[in-house]
């Protein structure tokens, strides 16, 4: 039975799409899965540094040798390496924010210990503050992505996005279908406020950028058809919004059989309808599924919701940030408060990334959001939530703390200390 099912899946994946209408129907039908709320999965990235030589980027071989020696992680996370050598932990979904946080914390401890034993360290920042962008991951996908960005005149931002940024991704259930529209709207509307709370990338490539979240600035410099918000004006039909977004986005890569960049502008809808043939053929369902992996909106539907707009932040901060975001989306009372609080700043993405809580409207929204989340925090998170509430009340984000250290001690010494696990 399993073999028959697998073969059926292969046949579906290899069948050519009948056109953009069929593709749109497939996208609308599969983008979200109806069910109860509650599960949480996390993906957390950190930059890899040599604390003895922080300007040096550890090699692919150094990093993968460490990963090859890792034991099975206690929380069940998988480990991957980003194009520039950032290391990512991806946890399986579990029931509730606290179990997800505890499992990820255990896995981080094992990972950091393994890197420390090898003389390297992992640093949680939204953007690499010190080193120039450089790809070390030899994967064909990333090589082709470089060529795509260069051809689309976004090479500098594309290279920085791939090799110099790091984030926290929170994966949550879509919930019951009748609530999808409101849930997706709120996930988007929370973006600017949560960016302001968690901003942690004031430098890039050895310089202050003038932005608190330079990671968000970099993403904003890429094609909005691929990296901008999915939400349409009304946001009443997430399936239709996602189908429209995905079909309008240009095709980045085609497998033929290896990843080949598409160096001219071809919206997926043109490929599906035969107005353009890529790889000498029309697309299959497998091509469409792969195309979706090359779209990077701040909220991405994958059956569940991927929340992708948080900077990577330190281990004393991220549990409270994650809990706040999950509580504001999954607790119905907190969600109502949050929806009202963030409505005036729901589209203030650039303002949030540039000045964060220095904007009075974002400051007001953030204080209401962290206060309602703190009321719901379990005792294990009380200290972290208290620190987060105090920081937000003071109008400070992690970028402010990092900037103070850099001004006082210099970029390289600060990064070296963080790579050694020192405050």
DSSP annotation of 251 reads: P
Residue with the larger pLDDT of the pair 233 and 288: 288
Residue 188 near residue 299 (C-beta atoms within 8 A): yes
* Mean pLDDT across 289-301: 97
- The per-residue pLDDT for 59 is 98
Split at pLDDT 50, 70, 90, the class of 233 is low
DSSP annotation of 44 reads: E
- The per-residue pLDDT for 1 is 33
CB crowding 59-89: b at 16 or more within 10 Å, else e:
eeebbeebeeeeeebebebebebbbbbbbbb
Taken in order of first residue, the domains within the chain and their CATH numbers are: 20-420 (3.30.590.20)
DSSP 85-97: S-EEEEPPPEESH
Kindly report, residue by residue over 57-67, the tens digit of the pLDDT.
Answer: 999 999 999 99
Among 126-135, 146-155, 251-260, which is the least confidently predicted range? 251-260
Kindly report, residue by residue over 335-381, the tens digit of the pLDDT.
Answer: 999 999 999 999 999 999 999 999 999 999 999 999 999 999 999 99
Query: Phi and psi of 16, rounded to 5°?
Result: -70, 140
Angle at 26 between CA 23 and CA 30, to 5 degrees: 145
Kindly report the three-state secondary structure assignment for every residue of 162-186.
Answer: HHHECEEEEEECCCCHHHHHHHHHH
- The per-residue pLDDT for 185 is 96
Split at pLDDT 50, 70, 90, the class of 10 is very low
Enumerate residues 6+ apart whose C-beta is below 8 A from 352.
Answer: 191, 192, 193, 195, 196, 199, 213, 216, 345, 359, 362
The residues that bridge with 16 in the sheet, in sequence order, are 284
- The per-residue pLDDT for 235 is 76
Q: What percent of the chain has pLDDT over 70?
A: 96
Query: What average pLDDT is seen over the chain?
Result: 94
- The per-residue pLDDT for 12 is 44
* Mean pLDDT across 317-340: 98
Q: Whole-model pTM?
A: 0.94
pLDDT of residue 144 exceeding 70, the answer is yes
As given in the structure block, the two tokens for residue 128 are: 């690499």
- Please choose, from the candidates 222, 226, 217, 224, the residue with its C-alpha nearest in 3D space to the C-alpha of residue 253: 226
């Amino acid at each position: 039975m399993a073999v028959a099912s697998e073969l059926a899946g292969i046949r579906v994946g290899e069948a050519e799409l009948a056109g953009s209408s069929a593709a749109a129907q497939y996208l609308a039908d599969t983008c979200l899965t109806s069910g109860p709320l509650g599960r949480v999965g996390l993906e957390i990235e950190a930059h890899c540094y040599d604390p003895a030589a922080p300007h040096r980027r550890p090699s692919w071989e150094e990093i993968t040798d460490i990963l090859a020696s890792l034991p099975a992680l206690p929380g069940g996370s998988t480990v991957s390496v980003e194009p520039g050598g950032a290391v990512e932990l991806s946890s399986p979904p579990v029931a509730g924010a606290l179990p997800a946080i505890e499992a990820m914390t255990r896995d981080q401890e094992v990972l950091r210990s393994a890197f420390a034993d090898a003389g390297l360290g992992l640093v949680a920042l939204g953007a690499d503050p010190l080193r120039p962008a450089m790809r070390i991951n030899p994967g064909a996908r990333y090589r082709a992505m470089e060529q795509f960005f260069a051809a689309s005149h976004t090479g500098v931002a594309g290279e920085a996005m791939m090799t110099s940024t790091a984030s926290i991704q929170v994966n949550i259930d879509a919930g019951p279908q009748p609530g999808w529209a409101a849930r997706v709207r709120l996930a988007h509307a929370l973006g600017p406020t949560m960016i302001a709370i968690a901003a942690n990338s004031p430098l890039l490539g050895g310089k202050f950028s003038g932005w608190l979240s330079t990671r968000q600035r970099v993403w904003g410099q890429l094609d909005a058809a691929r990296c901008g918000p999915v939400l349409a004006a009304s946001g009443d039909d997430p399936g239709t919004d996602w189908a429209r977004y995905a079909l309008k986005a240009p095709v980045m890569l085609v497998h033929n059989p290896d990843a080949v960049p598409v160096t001219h502008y071809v919206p997926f809808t043109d490929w599906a309808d035969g107005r353009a043939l890529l790889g000498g053929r029309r697309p299959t369902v497998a091509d469409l599924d792969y195309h979706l992996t090359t779209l990077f909106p701040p909220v991405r539907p994958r059956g569940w919701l991927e929340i992708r707009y948080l900077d990577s932040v330190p281990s004393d901060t991220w549990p409270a940030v994650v809990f706040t975001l999950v509580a504001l989306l999954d607790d119905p009372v907190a969600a109502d408060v949050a929806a009202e609080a963030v409505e005036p700043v729901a589209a203030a993405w650039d303002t949030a990334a540039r000045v964060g809580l220095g904007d009075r409207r974002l400051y007001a929204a953030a204080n209401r959001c962290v206060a309602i989340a703190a009321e719901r925090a379990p005792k294990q998170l009380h200290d972290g939530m208290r620190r987060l509430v105090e920081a937000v009340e003071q109008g400070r984000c992690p970028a402010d703390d990092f900037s103070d250290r850099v001004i006082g001690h210099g970029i390289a010494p600060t990064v070296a200390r963080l790579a050694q696990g020192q405050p």
